Amino acid sequence: MKRTPHARHLPLLVTASLVLLVFIAGALVYPRFASFGVVRNLMVDNAFLAVAAVGATFVILSGAIDLSIGSVMAFTSILLATLIEQHGWHPLAAIAFAVIVGGAFGLAQGLIIQAFELPAFLVTLAGMFIARGGAFLVHPQSLGIKHPFVADVLNERLSLVLPVGPHGVTIPLLVDIALLAIAAAAVVLSFTRLGRNVYAVGDHEQGAMLMGLNIRATRLSVFTISGLCSALAGVVFTLYQQSGDPAACKGLELDAIAAVVIGGTLLRGGIGSVLGSSLGVLLLGLIQTIVTFQGNLNSWWTKIVVGFLVLAFVALQRRFTR
Amino acid sequence: MPADSPLLSVRSLSKRFGAVVALDSIDLDVSPGSIHALMGENGAGKSTLIRCLMGAVRRDGGTVLFEGTACDPASPRHAEAAGLSTVFQEVGLIPHMSVAENITLGRESRRWGLIDRREARARARRALARLGLTIDVDQELGGCSIALQQLVAIARALDVSARLLILDEPTSSLDRRETAELFAVLRRLRDEGVGIIFVTHFLEQVYQLCDRITVLRDGAHVVTRDTRDLPRPQLIAAMLGRTPAAPGASVTSAAPADAAPLLRATGLRRRESIEHADLTIPRGAAVGLAGLLGSGRSELARMLFGIDRPQGGRIELNGETFSPRSPRDAIARGIALTPENRKSDGIVPNLSVRENIVLALQARRGVLRSLSRREQDAIADEFIARLGIKTPHREAPISTLSGGNQQKALLARWLAANPALLILDEPTRGIDIGAKQEIESLIRGLINGGAGVLFISSELSELVRACSRIVVLKDRRTIGELRAPGLSEEHILEAIAAHA
């Protein structure tokens, strides 16, 4: 027997339709909108947000929240720049190190939440301040990176080329990283015990405990993954900006949370998908692109539209997930 | 293992929580292929014993042999791996996951490190087939009835090849038909050699189903005997630690004339809740609401209390039209409700017993006329004594009390506010006989004082004893009213059965 699509998948369908609709609308109104360049920029400009949203999806699915994402990104970015520019590290080594630091930061937040039974909101709020302050401690202002490897990323010498068409389709490295993170997260969430435990813990923690699931390990994993994703998002951001900046990405965790919610994930946990979050990021990016194309609109209009979208989706979920 | 040796053998198991002895040297033997009832009043230690067996809490002393080997699980996970499974009172499953996932979660078969969903479905179907169930394993668990969810929980236990299955109050949310289905499944498992510990408050179910009975009282073992050797009066006596009063004569308040009833509701309806309900509650009388699960009893109560607004019909209170828009309106007019789900809707867990008791009274008086601490203490002490609420102190957080005592405190809250109409929604669910009798005598006290009571209960014998009229609901409609004399469980069942 085939199931009819359940009402709780509706937000995801709505998001997908909106992405299509907004894109078609843009293409109809602005002549140069439906071009390869616009799509490419849309993906490149939002790659770091997509990676951050992957981590936020894990945390929110488990019923928690992580407010430290933006600060950890900034910390990663200035750490990378300092290591490469002032200490002569190879970018790859610096990236590996920075990602490990991010994971450790997330794990530490998870351990504190577990050990003292504190709300994730407060612990990650503290983490947000600590990581931000730490970023300025590493280096007090932005620092450009001139290493040739980093330049190669931006001029697309380091890109995946799909063997399609006469010249192949080039997918920039930053987008590759984002797509890889999304795909990996989707597999983990759907096809591993860890992933299913994340849903179970977010849906009904007491039940998950009585079923003998390891809640502690699940929660620790979730915060570690969020830390890893924040650091990776910081790496993508740094490569994108070609510089490290301790003041960057302020409030980016809120953009990530907005993308997750617009993507149909329940803030209470237990329902949602990383595919939805990616569509949410895409939708946010598309709205930004439209506002830019319009030209005479203040860019703050993006925020206002996003605000109303979040409201609409929260209302939608309230209606359809009981 | 010899055939006559017990599956589970518990000796001198003890557990203390701080200064309180929760379990004092408990012995228990469960044979394979038998259903063993575990009975006792609230606070007897049944839940603690189960939690100790499952490793949810660690025991302080004693030995547990399972299949002849020492068994000391560190967590429910370890207990399950050893072959012990528990289906908890509030079904501990994940509502938004599929039936198949709920059965296999945490021990999914994997191929190349990834979950094999096809195998999960096959395993779920196999486990359900052992229960004689063929259902769509892809459907979401939360969409299934409570009864089906419970069977899924049992299937989950079977999927780990549990040899000992513990069921904690599995029938408290099931109607008769569902209970019969559950029993058929349990008998089937017993015949396959599974040992079952069955915790319940329903005496009749024990005699229908169980081979052996163990009674605990105040954390100590009282008696273990074959069911046929332990007749009902002796069982009740063992549970209460005293000879129970003869079944109370039914309340004999002469039905007052309907000329000026306390409350009259006519033609109430609300989509997905009540199709049509008529109800009259006289002054100084208890009216029972009888009906199967899902017949609309609680839904009707919710309308009278202003939680849900009727979409049709009218309510008159003291002869005036009454359309409450919120519980606040209802409380202001002297209506009180103890909800069905005391944990989520009733108590304020972190407040003390005293604070929980004076809550409604304070709300009625308003913030400006606050009760002095002395008055509060006096009221709390009075009700703790009158209702026999077992609490170390009136300042103890109410969440530390057992279920029955929480329920009594909740009743005290409304009694303190001296309501004109008290609606009791399943006040005796999950509480012991002693507390039940006390609640029945409280109802009598209230109606003698001229108040009206609307009493909702699944236990028909209780309704018959406590009420002078019983309104029967079926499929979200009131189908008739029975009046004393001539009230009996059989009459109610006939009324439900006869109304096609």
As a whole-number percent, the residues of chain A with pLDDT over 90 amount to 66
Q: Is residue B46 a part of any domain in this protein?
A: yes
pLDDT reading at B37 higher than 70: yes
**What was the ipTM of the complex prediction?**
0.82
* Residue B167 dihedral angles phi and psi, to the nearest 5°: -115, 115
| A177-206 pLDDT per residue, tens | 999 999 999 999 999 999 999 999 999 888
Contact A211 B113 (CB under 8 A): no
Q: What is the pLDDT of residue B2?
A: 46
Residues B16 and B122 in one domain: yes
The candidate with the shortest Cα–Cα distance to A234, out of A125, A80, A91, A109, is A80
Q: Which residue of B has its CA nearest to A6?
A: B140
The total of other beta-carbon atoms located within 10 Å of residue A141's CB is: 10
pLDDT reading at B42 higher than 70: no
Pick A210's closest partner by Cβ from B92, B110, B115.
B92
Kindly state the average pLDDT of the residues B441-462.
Answer: 85
Residues B187 and B270 in one domain: no
Q: Which residues contact B272 (CB under 8 A, 6 or more apart)?
A: none
Residues B231 and B267 in one domain: no
Kindly state the average pLDDT of the residues B83-104.
Answer: 85
Residues B8/B82, Cβ–Cβ less than 8 Å: no
Q: Is residue B3 a part of any domain in this protein?
A: no
| CATH code at position B160 | 3.40.50.300
Q: Is residue B274 a part of any domain in this protein?
A: yes
Contact A204 B92 (CB under 8 A): yes
Q: Where residue B255 falls among pLDDT bands split at 50, 70, 90?
A: very low
| B121-167 pLDDT per residue, tens | 999 999 898 888 888 999 988 888 877 888 898 888 888 778 999 99
Contact A3 B88 (CB under 8 A): no
Kindly state the average pLDDT of the residues B212-228.
Answer: 91
Q: Which residues contact B315 (CB under 8 A, 6 or more apart)?
A: B263, B264, B265, B268, B303, B304, B321, B322, B323, B324
Residues B142 and B13 in one domain: yes
Q: What is the pLDDT of residue B28?
A: 92
Tell which of B88, B90, B94, B272 to mutate to test the A interface (max A CBs under 10 Å).
B94
| A44-59 pLDDT per residue, tens | 999 999 999 999 999 9
* Residue B399 dihedral angles phi and psi, to the nearest 5°: -65, -15
Structure tokens at A54: 């992957």
Q: Is A7-320 assigned to CATH 1.10.3470? A: yes
Residues of B with Cβ-Cβ distance to A196 under 8 angstroms: 97, 101, 105, 108, 115
Rounded Cα gap, residues A220 and A218, in angstroms: 5
Q: Is B156 on the interface with A (CB under 8 A)?
A: yes
The total of other beta-carbon atoms located within 10 Å of residue B344's CB is: 9
Q: Is B106 on the interface with A (CB under 8 A)?
A: yes
Kindly state the average pLDDT of the residues B231-245.
Answer: 68
Q: Which residues contact A122 (CB under 8 A, 6 or more apart)?
A: none
Residues B129 and B225 in one domain: yes
Q: What is the pLDDT of residue B368?
A: 67
Residues B172 and B103 in one domain: yes
Q: Is residue B252 a part of any domain in this protein?
A: no
Q: DSSP of B94-136, one letter per residue?
A: -TTSBHHHHHHTTS--EETTEE-HHHHHHHHHHHHHHTT----
Q: Is residue B246 a part of any domain in this protein?
A: no
Give the minimum alpha-carbon distance from B339 to chain A in angstroms, rounded to a whole number.
21
- Pairs across A and B, CB distance < 8 A: 75
Rounded Cα gap, residues B209 and A261, in angstroms: 49
Contact A209 B106 (CB under 8 A): no
Tell which of A211, A215, A266, A271 to mutate to test the B interface (max B CBs under 10 Å).
A211
Q: What is the pLDDT of residue B466?
A: 86
Give the minimum alpha-carbon distance from A175 to chain B in angstroms, rounded to a whole number.
26
Q: SS3 letters for B202-269? A: CHHHHHHHCCEEEEEECCEEEEEEEHHHCCHHHHHHHHHCCCCCCCCCCCCCCCCCCCCCCEEEEEEE
Total domains, chain B: 2
Kindly state the average pLDDT of the residues B339-359.
Answer: 77
Residues of A with Cβ-Cβ distance to B138 under 8 angstroms: 1, 3
End of a domain among B240, B275, B308?
Answer: B240
Residues B235 and B267 in one domain: no
Kindly state the average pLDDT of the residues A65-94.
Answer: 95
Residues of B with Cβ-Cβ distance to A186 under 8 angstroms: none
Residues B311 and B210 in one domain: no
| A80-132 pLDDT per residue, tens | 999 999 999 999 999 999 999 999 999 999 999 999 989 999 999 999 999 99
Q: Which residue of A has its CA nearest to B138?
A: A3
Pick A211's closest partner by Cβ from B90, B106, B114.
B106
- SS3 state at B402: coil
Residues B320 and B210 in one domain: no
Tell which of A204, A205, A271 to mutate to test the B interface (max B CBs under 10 Å).
A204
Q: Is residue B33 a part of any domain in this protein?
A: yes
Kindly state the average pLDDT of the residues B378-398.
Answer: 83
Q: What is the pLDDT of residue B273?
A: 78
Q: Where residue B404 falls among pLDDT bands split at 50, 70, 90?
A: confident
Rounded Cα gap, residues B100 and A202, in angstroms: 18
Q: Is residue B135 a part of any domain in this protein?
A: yes
Contact A213 B77 (CB under 8 A): yes
**In which domain, by residue range, is B181 found?**
8-240
Residues B364 and B427 in one domain: yes
Pick B92's closest partner by Cβ from A191, A199, A211.
A211
Q: Is B441 on the interface with A (CB under 8 A)?
A: no
Give the minimum alpha-carbon distance from B113 to chain A in angstroms, rounded to a whole number.
7
Contact A192 B115 (CB under 8 A): yes
Which residue is associated with the tokens 């009454």?
B322
Rounded Cα gap, residues A92 and A95, in angstroms: 5
Residues of A with Cβ-Cβ distance to B136 under 8 angstroms: 1, 3
Higher model confidence: residue A6 or residue B444? B444
Q: What is the pLDDT of residue B205?
A: 82
Residues B334 and B424 in one domain: yes
Contact A207 B93 (CB under 8 A): yes
pLDDT reading at B256 higher than 50: no
pLDDT reading at A5 higher than 50: no
What's the whole-number average pLDDT of chain B?
82
As a whole-number percent, the residues of chain A with pLDDT over 70 amount to 96
Q: Which residue of B has its CA nearest to A195?
A: B115
pLDDT reading at A317 higher than 60: yes
Contact A207 B80 (CB under 8 A): no
Q: What is the pLDDT of residue B244?
A: 44
Q: Name B338's bridge partners.
A: B424
Q: What is the pLDDT of residue A197?
A: 94
Higher model confidence: residue B179 or residue B490? B179
On the question of a cis peptide bond just before residue A148, with omega within 30 degrees of 0, the verdict is: no
Q: What is the dihedral of CA B386, B387, B390, B392, to 10 degrees?
A: -40
Rounded Cα gap, residues B483 and B456, in angstroms: 16
Q: Which residue of A has its CA nearest to B154?
A: A211
